[in-house]
C-alpha cells in the first residue's frame, strides 16, 4: 500500500503587515532622520557664526583707545557681523567687559565680549525641539601692553 501525501495548502504570508504600512513607516522614519540632521546642522552653523561674531567684536574692542570707544566698537561690529553672517536673531545681547582698560600700562590686560542670539527654530517642525534656541559665545582679546592713554 502506497501512502498518498496529504494535499498541501498554499503558504500564507505570516508577516502580518501590508506593504503600504511598511513603506509609510520607513518613509516617515527617513524624513524624521533628515529633519534631525538638518536641525543639527543649522544649530552647529549658528553656534559657529555667534562664536565668530564674538571674536570679531572682541578684536575690535581691543583696538580701541578708551573703554567707551571699545564698547561702542564692539556693539557696532557685533550687530553688523550678525547681519552679514546670515543669522536671524529674534533678540540679541552684546556685553563688553572693559575692566582691562583700568589696568596700569605695562601690565597684561584684556577685553572680553559676550554675544548671545536667540534664533528661531519653529520652521523645522520637529516635535520637542522648541520654538527657539539661545546661542552664546564669549571671546577675549588682549590689549596692547604698552598702549597709550587718552
Q: Please, which pLDDT band fits residue 87 given cuts at 50, 70 and 90?
A: confident
Distance between CA atoms of 72 and 149, rounded to whole angstroms?
Answer: 18
- Confirm whether 28 is domain-assigned: yes
- Confirm whether 111 is domain-assigned: yes
- Confirm whether 37 is domain-assigned: yes
- Confirm whether 115 is domain-assigned: yes
Check residue 10 and give its pLDDT: 63
Number of neighbouring beta carbons within 10 Å of residue 112: 20
Check residue 69 and give its pLDDT: 93
- Confirm whether 97 is domain-assigned: yes
| Residue 101 domain boundaries | 21-142
Total number of domains in the chain: 1
- Confirm whether 148 is domain-assigned: no
pLDDT (tens digit per residue) in 100-148:
888 887 788 899 999 999 988 777 777 777 788 899 999 999 987 766 6
Range list of H helices, the chain: 19-62, 67-84
Q: Are 142 and 109 in contact (CB under 8 A)?
A: yes
Amino acid at each position: 500500500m502506497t501512502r498518498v501525501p496529504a494535499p498541501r495548502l498554499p503558504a500564507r504570508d505570516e508577516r502580518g503587515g501590508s506593504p503600504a504600512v511598511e513603506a509609510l513607516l520607513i518613509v516617515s522614519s527617513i524624513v524624521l532622520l533628515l529633519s534631525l540632521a538638518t536641525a543639527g546642522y543649522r544649530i552647529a552653523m549658528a553656534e559657529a557664526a555667534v562664536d565668530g561674531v564674538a571674536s570679531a567684536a572682541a578684536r575690535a574692542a581691543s583696538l580701541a583707545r578708551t573703554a567707551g570707544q571699545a564698547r561702542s566698537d564692539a556693539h557696532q561690529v557685533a550687530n553688523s557681523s550678525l547681519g552679514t553672517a546670515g543669522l536671524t536673531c529674534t533678540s540679541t545681547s552684546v556685553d563688553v567687559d572693559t575692566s582691562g582698560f583700568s589696568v596700569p600700562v605695562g601690565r597684561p590686560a584684556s577685553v572680553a565680549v559676550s554675544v548671545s542670539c536667540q534664533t528661531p527654530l519653529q520652521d523645522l517642525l520637529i516635535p520637542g525641539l522648541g520654538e527657539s534656541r539661545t546661542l552664546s559665545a564669549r571671546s577675549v582679546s588682549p590689549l596692547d601692553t604698552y598702549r597709550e592713554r587718552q
